[in-house]
Chains A and B, each alone.
Chain A
Amino acid sequence: MVEALSVNELFPPGRYFLMGNEALAIGALLAGCRFFAGYPITPSSEIMNFMARYLPLVGGTFIQMEDELSSIMAVIGASWAGVRSMTATSGPGFSLMQEGIGYAIMTETPIVLVDVMRVGPGTGQATKSAQGDVMQARWGRHGDQEIIAIAPAFAQEMLELTIDAFNLADTYRVPVILLPDEIIGHLEEVVEIPSEDSIIRIQRIEPKSPEEPHFGGDGARIAPMPIVGKGYNALITGSTHDEKGYRKTQDPNVHRRLAWHLVNKIRRNRDKIVKYEIIENESARIGIVAYGSVYRAAREAIDLAKKKGLRINLFRPITLWPSPERQLRKFAENLDAIIVPEMNTGMYVLEIERIVKDLLPVYSLTKIGGGEPITPEEILRFAENIIKEGIKK
């Protein structure tokens, strides 16, 4: 057996100037990710390039697969062999990986998948930023399901939220999707690399015996996960199965129970899973909900507004799915209107409307194409316009 280096031997704790994608890869190494399979695609390739260089040094395995279909399936195989595993891609590759995500959901396989969002559909604009995959992350597969999706907004968060992503994946036995937009993937800023000893790694729970059910339940409890090769005789299938893994494709009750388990294990733990951030200004009447790189512009916009005497509140869903539903309603309670700026034609705004439209009007500010970010001035102008023209009833 070849000896391996620790992550801190490669990257001693301290302050570094790093690209978002590199910070994410270091976060994965710190989280204990020791298997990566991927396929080249802009603007996520730096993650794969980084893993190819550093995974072998920490005793891990890197493999460049023939496509994204196989990349995600290799990651699923490695996860069942007991290794924390990840892949990274962008739009077109994310589309191909949907079948694998569906399989991972059905088999309750913990994996982490990064989709650095670029302009689509089709090949789109490979090097330009967008936020057009937020609904694909949630709804991209056939069938009933819930997943977890997280949108970092800083290089530091690329590292920290990746560690969270692995812990969430193992806790809930579900694919966790990291959804940075291209701007966050490629921006370079100061990142604090922590000591490996300070990292909390949630351990998977293995069954007590081969007889203990490996799957499903009633949504309240996550079944223990066997590791293949250890004598559990794990029976794993993407078909409808009972809690011991037996295919039961003719029994409506077995499917009903399984589908509700897959959905409820996330829904019932929503408040434990969601992360969000709120900036509140006294007596503000307008609120903004923004995520990813647009959050950075929105933060700037409310500062600009303050200087002009206009007070605006800001809510950032860090966890996009499941959405911070209860927290968003509370945020909306004392406001007259909410603006949702996004680099797409208006996607996450639909979720915000679903949650708060009985409380107040929701405005969608959209900008797509060319990778031009939404500027703070544009957000401020939009807010000023709403006030000038009168808030819609």
Chain B
Amino acid sequence: MSSARYSHPLDKYLRTEVIPHVMCPGCGNMSIANAFLRAVDKIFGSFEKFVFVSGIGCAAWIPSPHFKADTIHTLHGRPIPVAIGVKLANPDLHVVVISGDGDLVAIGGNHLIHAARRNADILVIMVNNFNYGMTGGQLAPTTPHGAITITTPYGNPEHEIDVSKIVAEAGANYVARWTILHQIQLENSFKKALQMEGFRFIEVLSPCTSRYVPRNFGNLKNILDFFKKNTIDIRVAQRKGSTEGKIVIGEFVIRDRPGLVRSIQELRSRALNAWRSSR
């Protein structure tokens, strides 16, 4: 199989022995990987000091096993606490979580909110494909109201969550949302977020071509058209004073509050001063 493969300029970031990958045809996961690797290549030129942490689900397989770096493939819902443990134990590392919406918002939702509140110094990339792809396409907290999944065969009676909005409110230093069609913006967001401290969150809307798309859009072209026509950049929405009922994309938050690592380092100095003055 490998003899038929052409080399790629970003090969040095990949465990090429596991290519071809196992994502479904038309899946957005590897487009996101592509934009991310371009960003890393331009800013850092290597994976030195990078650690990737992922949960369970299709998106969690983007770094593990494909990225040639330290990759920790954890339990369902738990990549964020593992990433926080790695980062606090060795603050010199770039710790990146790549996982899906079910993993990060449903079973791991509490960790996501608290990581943003703590401003933990990790970058979280959330692939939002509106359902649980790996297990057959069940309802997710991100599934739009009325949408068909295998567990909402008569339409979703619940309402979807706006993850980016919640993470922004909770206190993250950087929050952005794009679709896989926004390759340039996505790459720029990755570049920016990788160089910031504190909690950074990038949500990427992505087609699940095996589960969600057939049940709700018919084919890949239709959902990509939807991504084009039914999204509005936050700056445009602000200028117009209306989102026009579309999904808002763009950069929602850029802050420079001190990250958790810096706050803990300051705490250590205060602790030592208090101990010395009590002597």
| B81 partner, pick from A10, A70, A83, A231, beta carbons under 8 A | A70
Q: Which of A58-114 contact B (CB under 8 A)?
A: 59, 61, 63, 65-67, 69-71, 73-83, 85, 99-100, 103
* A73 with B272: CB separation less than 8 A: no
A306 to B187, CA, bound (A): 80
* B75 with A78: CB separation less than 8 A: no
With A228-B93, A234-B71 in contact, is A57–B86 under 8 Å at CB? Answer: no
With A2-B265, A5-B272 in contact, is A228–B111 under 8 Å at CB? Answer: no
Q: Is B51 an interface residue (CB 8 A)?
A: yes
Query: Which residues of the partner chain B approach A2 to less than 8 Å between Cβ atoms?
Result: 265, 268-269, 272
A336 to B49, CA, bound (A): 63
* B70 with A77: CB separation less than 8 A: no
* A57 with B88: CB separation less than 8 A: no
* B272 with A61: CB separation less than 8 A: no
* B271 with A57: CB separation less than 8 A: yes
A69 to B215, CA, bound (A): 34
A217-234 interface code vs B (CB 8 A; 1 in, 0 out): 000000000101101111
Query: Which residues of the partner chain A approach B111 to less than 8 Å between Cβ atoms?
Result: 66, 69-70
* A99 with B75: CB separation less than 8 A: yes
With A74-B82, A229-B70 in contact, is A5–B275 under 8 Å at CB? Answer: yes
Interface size on B, residues (CB 8 A): 42
Query: Which residues of the partner chain B approach A247 to less than 8 Å between Cβ atoms?
Result: 64-65, 73
With A56-B267, A236-B73, A238-B73 in contact, is A231–B89 under 8 Å at CB? Answer: no
With A56-B268, A228-B93 in contact, is A81–B86 under 8 Å at CB? Answer: yes
Shortest distance between the CB of A247 and any CB in chain B (Å):
7
Give B276's nearest chain A residue, CB to CB.
A5
* B85 with A76: CB separation less than 8 A: yes
B56-89 interface code vs A (CB 8 A; 1 in, 0 out): 0000000011001111111101101111111111
| A238 partner, pick from B15, B75, B81, B87, beta carbons under 8 A | B75
Q: Is B90 an interface residue (CB 8 A)?
A: yes
B1-36 interface code vs A (CB 8 A; 1 in, 0 out): 000000000000001001000000000000000000
Q: Is A365 an interface residue (CB 8 A)?
A: no
A34 to B72, CA, bound (A): 21
Q: Which of B77-115 contact A (CB under 8 A)?
A: 77-78, 80-90, 92-93, 110-111, 114
Query: Which residues of the partner chain A approach B83 to less than 8 Å between Cβ atoms?
Result: 77
* B85 with A234: CB separation less than 8 A: no
A-B contacts, 10 listed (Cβ < 8 Å)? A2-B272, A5-B275, A56-B264, A61-B88, A70-B114, A73-B78, A77-B85, A80-B72, A81-B93, A247-B73
